[in-house]
């Protein structure tokens, strides 16, 4: 059931669990995530970056595929189709294509420009019943060219964006996209705590978003959820298990046995690996049975 992400994330925040955003890349990915959410009776967010959207022939193709698949697979759990790290122009394209939720990433703009663009896009999204995520600019985490920790957002800047009425907020707390370097210092719970307190003062319990979900230790995920994180984005981990499972199939020579080269067989181990990873994450995030 395609919906915007507001209600599922407000419920998650109140119930102290998180909904996973799993980025999709193609039909197999989408089907694997949707079927797992349905099997586990969990809400889910399908994330689509601008690059992945382009790869899949544009947002209209993605929106049509997701809507049709949602119907043909008989998916009854809440599913949001969400633009991940959208540009200003990309947000309008996703809205027009029929996405149910957008993220405007204005974090690289000066805060005044981020505020202006987020205000406009929030009105546009809400006017059409979509939910919107915004991202807040940050303090650098780089030292001598080595990134020991991702950026940490300024709670005051978070407040300036949150009061605009965005539905959920991504704020850096030391997280980074992709595989974490060996010297990663972990999440900054001090920053998360300050942001959460600031949010409670100015807008109340707004769901916070943790990007870069790949490779964060389980205990840190649990702690982040207890401090207000209600949406966790996972992308790289699904790509890694898909690649590993596909490599295993080919290295075992299975594509050379009988009709093992049939894409439906060749892609099956990767498909099952994504399903298993999504299940593991939904169990960890606590969203199982929460649809």
Among all residues, which ones are annotated catalytic?
84
Region of 220 please: left (phi>0), alpha (psi -120 to 50) or beta.
alpha
Closest C-alpha to 8, from 168, 200, 172: 168
Q: What is the spatial distance between Cα 33 and Cα 7, in angstroms, rounded to a whole number?
A: 20
Listing DSSP states for 77-137 in one string gives: S-EEEEEEEE-HHHHHHHHHHT-SEEEE--TTS-HHHHHHHHHHHHHHHHHTT-EEEEEE-
Give least dist CB 180 to ligand 13P, A. Answer: 8
Neighbours of 17 (CB within 10 A): 21
Interface with ligand 13P (CB under 6 A), residue total 15
The 217-236 site mask, x for binding ligand 13P (CB under 6 A), equals ----------------xxxx
Residues 178-197 binding ligand 13P (CB under 6 A) are: 178
Regarding 107 and contact with ligand 13P (CB under 6 A), the answer is no
Contact segment (CB under 6 A) with ligand 13P among 38-46, 66-74, 145-153, 206-214 equals 206-214
Instruction: Select 25 or 42, whichever has its Cβ closest to ligand 13P.
Output: 25
Q: Which of 30, 214, 246, 287 binds ligand 13P (CB under 6 A)?
A: 214
Q: Which of 84, 133, 151, 157 binds ligand 13P (CB under 6 A)?
A: 84
Give least dist CB 221 to ligand 13P, A. Answer: 12
The 35-74 site mask, x for binding ligand 13P (CB under 6 A), equals ------------x---------------------------
Sheet strands (E) in 118-274: 131-136, 138-139, 142-143, 146-147, 152-153, 168-171, 208-210, 229-234
Regarding 23 and contact with ligand 13P (CB under 6 A), the answer is yes
Q: What is the spatial distance between Cα 273 and Cα 278, in angstroms, rounded to a whole number?
A: 9
Helix (H) or strand (E) holding 250: helix 236-251
Regarding 211 and contact with ligand 13P (CB under 6 A), the answer is yes
Contacting positions for ligand 13P (CB under 6 A): 23, 47, 84-85, 177-178, 211-214, 233-237
């Amino acid at each position: 059931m395609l919906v915007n992400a507001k209600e599922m994330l407000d419920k998650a925040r109140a119930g102290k669990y998180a909904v996973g955003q799993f980025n999709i890349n193609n039909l197999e990915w989408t089907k694997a995530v949707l079927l797992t959410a349905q099997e586990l009776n969990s809400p889910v967010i399908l994330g689509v970056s601008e690059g992945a959207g382009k790869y899949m022939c544009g947002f209209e193709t993605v929106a049509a595929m997701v809507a049709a698949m949602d119907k043909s697979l008989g998916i009854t759990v809440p599913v949001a189709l969400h633009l991940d790290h959208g540009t200003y122009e990309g947000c309008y394209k996703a809205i027009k294509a029929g996405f149910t939720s957008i993220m405007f990433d204005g974090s690289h703009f000066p805060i005044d420009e981020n505020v202006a663009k987020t205000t406009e896009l929030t009105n546009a999204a809400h006017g059409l019943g979509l939910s919107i995520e915004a991202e807040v600019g940050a303090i650098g985490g780089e030292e001598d060219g080595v990134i020991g920790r991702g950026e940490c957002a300024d709670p005051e800047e978070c407040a300036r964006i949150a009061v605009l009425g965005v539905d959920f907020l991504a704020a850096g707390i030391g997280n980074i996209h992709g595989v974490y370097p060996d010297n990663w210092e972990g999440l900054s719970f001090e920053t998360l705590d300050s942001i959460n307190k600031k949010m409670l003062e100015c807008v109340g319990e707004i769901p916070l978003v943790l990007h870069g979900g790949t490779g964060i230790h389980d205990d840190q995920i649990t702690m982040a959820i207890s401090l207000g994180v209600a949406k966790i984005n996972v992308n790289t981990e699904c790509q890694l298990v898909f690649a590993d499972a596909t490599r295993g199939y080919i290295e075992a020579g299975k594509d050379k046995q009988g009709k093992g080269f049939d894409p439906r067989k060749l892609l099956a181990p990767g498909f099952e690996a994504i399903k298993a990873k999504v299940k593991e994450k939904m169990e960890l995030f606590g969203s199982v049975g929460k649809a």
